[in-house]
Structure 1
C-alpha cells in the first residue's frame, strides 16, 4: 500500500484504537457541494464547479473544510483546494484520506493536558523568546475596540467578559518554566483584569484615545498573570466601549472574530436571551501536544526539505538607498487598495480557480521583481494553520508564516504570474503546520537556509470592522492599528497588512527606517502601485462579461 506521496505505509502504524474509530459517512461530490452551498449562501452548486469561481476565498474554504472534517472525520489540507477546488475533487481527496491508517500516538493529549504544566507550541516559543528579550514591552499587543449601543446591561457585559475567559482557556494562560524549559498552564482564576471607568465628561474622547494608546504600549508580565485585559468604559448614557488587549502569544487574526462571538453569546446568555454555551472540548494544550507529537521523524524531514527548496535561491535585496541597514524602528503608514482594483484582481483570480489572496501575493512578487530582479524572490505570507479539527473554535496562537517563491523576471505576463503564484501558494500550504522559525533554526543547524529570508511580509486579515447583534443593542468592533513610528522586532524591511473592508482593502505598511531612508520608501510605494495596476489590467472583464 502506498500513501499519497507514493511512499509505503506500514500496516503497524494502525492501532486497534485507530481501527475502532467511529464510522463516518463516505464523502460524495453531492455532499461536498451541499457544504459549498451552505458556506457561500448559494442556491445551487454543480459538482465540477470551482469553489473559488463561486466567490469563495481562503476564509470560506477554511470553514468548508472544518464542516467537512466534522462530518467525515478527516480534514483535507487547504493546499489541496488550491490545486482543485471542485466538489468532486475535494470528495476524492477526503475519501483517500479516510482510507489511510491513523498514526500511533504514545499518549493521548487528552490525558496529558491534565498535567499542571504543558509545553509551549513551536510558534509560541518565538514570541516567548522575543518577549523575554524585550523585557515584556507591549510589542505584541493585539488591541480592539468594541462599541456597544442601545439598552446595554453593564453588569451582564462585565459577566460576559468573565465568561469568555472561562470558556477559552488560552485567555487565562500563565507562563513559566517546568524542568528548566519554558512552559504554560491554565490559571484556575477565571476573572480577568477589567478596569471600569466613566468617560462621559467633556474630554471623554481624548481620555479614551489615551486609554487606547496605553493598551498598545503597556506590556504583560507573562509569568505573573494571563496576557489579557479589558477596559470597560461608559462613553454616553446608552453607549459603552470595551477595549481589549491580548498578547499575540495566545492570540491570532482569527481569534479576533472568535472573541467577538464569545462575548456576544455570553452577553445574550447573561441577559436571559440565549442558553449558556458549552466550552470547546479541544484546548490549546491539545494543539501544543499534537504539534510536538506530529512534527518529527519522516513528517518533519518532508517539511524541512520543502522549505530548503523554497529558500535555495537567496532573494536580491529590494531595499532603497539605506542598504540592509540595522535597526528595529519602523514607520507605519496607511495603505489602501481601491475597490475597483480589488474587483479586477478578484475576477482575474476566479478565472484561474484561485483567490484574491493569491492575486495579492502575485502583485507583491511582481513588485519585488521590478524593484530588485535577481533569480527568484520570496514573500513571507501569514497562514491560519488551523487544519487540525477542533482548532476552528479555539482562541490561541495558531497562525504561521510561509514562504512563497516566484521568478524575479519583471513584467511577466500577469496571467502567467498569477498561475505560477497559485502553484507556489499551494506548495507553501503543504507546510502550513510547520512553524517557520523552528524550521529555519533546524536548517541553520544543518548549514542550509539561514540567510535566505524574504524582505517582504504580507498578511490578509479578517475584516477589521465587524458587528454583532445583541439583545437590545448592537456591538460594533474595530481592530485598532498603530500609526507613526514604533519598534518592530521582526526581520522584514517591508510588511503589508490588509483587511477586507466594505469597499476595497485597507490596512497599513510597515517599513524599517534604517533600510528605507527619507524619500526612498515613497519611490517604492509608487512601484507597488504600478504593480497593482499592471496585475489588475488583466482582470478587467470585457464589456460582454460585465
Structure 2
C-alpha cells in the first residue's frame, strides 16, 4: 500500500452500485447532479477553494475503486492534489446560441460518466452564462455520496465559499468520522453474525417476491439513439389535500409517508389486479456518530404488503404501516446481502425484486451568502429502476418527484399516472372507512392514466370510456371560450370543443393547479382542483362554476 493512501474492501452498500458501473461504465445513471443558477458576482477561485476543502474533509470524496485478486477495494488518497473546476465560458455568444449551448453544457456536465477506478467521484462545473449569471453543476457519484451526504456537501461548500469571500475562518465543526469507519463496522457485523436475525427475516419476507410497479409500455424502437432516457414529472399536493393527509395521519397514529406509500400500493393493485405489492425504499443507516459523514450510507429495503381492495383504506393503512415498520426494523442488512441466494440470477442482483423505489427524499440546499440562487432540475440518463418517486414532506407542503424510465413509460402515461395518484389519494382520504373497491378508483385510473396500448385489462381495470357524441356541438359559450383560452394558454394546444378533456389534451396535476389559479382570478372563485379532476371536460367543468 502506498504511504499516501489507505486501502480497504468495498463497503457492502457500495457493491450493487459498483457492479452496475462495471457492466455499464459509460452510464451516468448513479450520478447525482445539483444544479444552481447564480445571479451576482461569482468567484470561481472561492468556489474551487470550497470544493477542494470539502474533498479534503471527507475521505469518500478522494476515493477510487479497483479490482484485485482478493476482490474490489477502495483506495483513499490522504493528500489529494487540488482539483480545478471545469469552467465553460458562454459569455461571448449571441443570446439564442447561448441558451442552446447552456442546455447542452448542463446535459454534458450532468451526464458525463465517472471513471471510478481513475478519478474521485465528484466534479464541479461553472458555466459562465453572462457577466452577472453563472450556472453551477456539483455532481457526485452515488457510490461515494447518498442523499443525506449531498446535503452535507452543499452545506459545507456554501460555508467555505462564504468564508473565502469574507476572508474569515469557516464556521464548521470537526471533521466527522470517515466512511471507512462505517464500512469496516458493517463488514465486521456481517462477519461476526450480528445480522443473523435480519438475514433470516429477509429470506422469509422476500421468498417468491417480484417487484411491483405501475404498468408501462415497451416502445424501445421509437426512442431516438442517444436520447436522455429518464424524465421527471412533479406533483405538489394542494393545501386541502395536504391538510386532509396530515389530519388522517394524526387520527390513525400513522405518518404522512406511510399514507403516501399505502396509496401507491392501492393504486398499483387497482391497475394491475395484483394484491402482492413489493416496493423498494431508501433508508439511512446513520447513527448520531455518522450524522455528517459523507459516503454511501443509504440502504435499500423492500416493503412488501398484501393489498385487498375489498378492505377499507383505514384497515389497509394499518397493515402497510406495520409492514413498513418491520422492514425498517431490519434495515441494517445491506441490500446486496438481502437478495443473495434469491431466484434472481441476472447481472444486476435484485433487479426483479425492486422495479420501483418509493422514498422520502433528503432536504438540503446551497447558500452562498450573496447574489441570488435558483435550483434547476437536472435531466438525467436512464437508471436501473422503472420508476423512482421521492416524497418531500415539509411544514411548507408535500411534493412528489416522479422520475420515470422512457423504456417503460411514455410522457403521456407517466403524467397521467402522476395526476391520477393525487385523485386516488384524495378519494382514499375522503372515505377511509369505505371498501376501497367502492371508491371508483379504476374509473379514475382508466380516465386519467389509461393503460398503454397492448396491455391486457385485468380484473381491476375497466373498459375504456366511450368518446362523447360530438354531433350536437353548438359552439362555445362566452364563459367556455374564456376557460378554453386559459386551458390553451397553459397546456399549449388549441381547445375548440366543449367536449375537450383537459387531461387528454396533455394536462396534468401541475398544469391543473395553474389553470385553477387563473380561472379563480379571471372567471370564478369557485374553481378548484377537485372540480377539474371530477369534471375534466370543458363544458362539464364550466357548468359547475358559479359565474
How far apart, in 2, do the equivalents of 1:391 and 1:477 lie? 30
TM-score (norm 2): 0.67
Q: Aligned residue for 2:194?
A: 299
Q: TM-score scaled to structure 1, two decimals?
A: 0.67
How many Å separate the matches in 1 of 2:84 and 2:176?
25
Preserved CA contact (<8 Å) 2:301 2:327: yes
Q: What is the deviation of 1:309?
A: 3.0
CA contact (8 A) 1:414 1:534 kept: no
TM superposition shift of 1:257: 1.3
Distance in 1 (CA, whole Å) between partners of 2:212 and 2:397 is 33
RMSD value over aligned CA atoms? 3.5
- 2:247 corresponds to 1:347: yes
| SS of residue matched to 2:297 | coil
**Residues 227-236 or 310-319, more deviating:** 310-319
Number of residues paired by the alignment? 417
CA distance in structure 2 between the partners assigned to 1:236 and 1:523 by the alignment: 38
Alignment of 1:7-46 (within 5 A): none
Specify the alignment match of 2:101 in structure 1: 207
SS at match of 1:468: coil
| Distance (whole Å) between structure 2 residues aligned to residue 445 and residue 301 of structure 1 | 21
Q: Is the 8 A contact 2:393 2:399 kept in 1?
A: yes
Residues 456-467 of structure 1 mapped to structure 2, 5 A cutoff = 456-463=356-363, 466-467=365-366
Per the TM alignment, residue 160 of structure 1 is displaced from its structure 2 partner at its CA by: 1.2
Question: Out of 19, 22, 27, which is 1:137 matched to?
Answer: 27
Residues 313 and 366 of structure 1, relative CA distance in 2, 3 Å threshold: farther
Mapped partners of 1:220, 1:255: distance in 2: 18
In the alignment, structure 1 residue 509 sits paired with structure 2 residue 509: no
Residue 296 (structure 2) pairs with residue 397 (structure 1) = yes
* CA–CA distance in structure 1, aligned partners of residues 201 and 359 of structure 2: 21
Residue matched to 1:497: 390
Unaligned runs of 5+ in 1: 1-112, 541-546
2:145 paired with 1:257: no
In structure 1, the partner of 2:309 is: 410
What corresponds to 1:229 in structure 2?
123
1:386 to 279, 286, 298: 286
What does the per-residue CA deviation read over 1:24-58, in whole Å, with 9 as the maximum and x for residues that have no partner?
A: xxxxxxxxxxxxxxxxxxxxxxxxxxxxxxxxxxx
Q: Tell which deviates more after alignment, 290-299 or 500-509.
A: 500-509
* Higher radius of gyration, 1 or 2: 2
What is the CA-CA distance between 1:133 and the residue it aligns to? 0.7
In structure 2, how many angstroms separate the alpha carbons of the residues matched to 1:293 and 1:379?
A: 29
CA distance in 2, matches of 1:296, 1:353: 38
Give 1:478's match in structure 2, choosing from 375, 386, 403: 375
Structure 1 match to 2:57: 167
Q: Quote how far apart the aligned CAs of 1:317 are.
A: 6.1
Residues 364-375 of structure 1 correspond to what in structure 2 (within 5 A)?
Answer: 364-375=264-275
**Structure 2: any 5+ residue segments left out of the alignment?**
434-547
Provide the secondary structure at the position in 1 that maps to 2:91: coil
Query: Cα deviation per residue 1:278-308 (whole Å; 9 max; x = unaligned)?
Result: 5524000111101101124543221122212
| 1:192-203 alignment, distance < 5 Å | 192-201=83-92, 202-203=94-95
1:191 maps to which of 73, 77, 82: 82
